[in-house]
Amino acid sequence: MNTVKFNLKKALANPELVVYRNKEKPKEWHWLKTADQKSYCIVSIYTHGEMLTHTKRGFDCAYLGNSEYDLLLISPKRKPAKKK
């Protein structure tokens, strides 16, 4: 499974593409629209049933960019280029 950097707009349009860096899928995740967008405005529930908080860029608040629980997006499959 190929992944790309988390993008909130794309994630909201395609919530099924959200995964953690360790390739697990969150049980659920939510963007808190009324939360401070410069802080931790995304929450997710991982397989152990615990809640994690994330920045708008998908970073796990405990590690800020170096966590197996940072949010990423599954990269859409690209069609191979046609030969000329």
Gap between the Cα atoms of 14 and 1, Å rounded = 16
Assigned domain for 12 exists: yes
pLDDT at site 38: 83
Assigned domain for 80 exists: no
pLDDT in tens, the chain (84 residues): 899 999 999 999 999 999 999 999 999 999 999 888 888 899 999 988 899 999 999 998 878 768 999 999 999 776 666 666
**What's the structural domain count of the chain?**
1
Write a three-state SS string for the chain.
CCEEECCHHHHHHCHHHEEECCCCCCCEEEECCCCCCCCEEEEEECCCCCEEEEECCCCECCCCCCCCCCEEEECCCCCCCCCC
Assigned domain for 30 exists: yes
* pTM (2 d.p.): 0.84
Gap between the Cα atoms of 65 and 20, Å rounded = 12
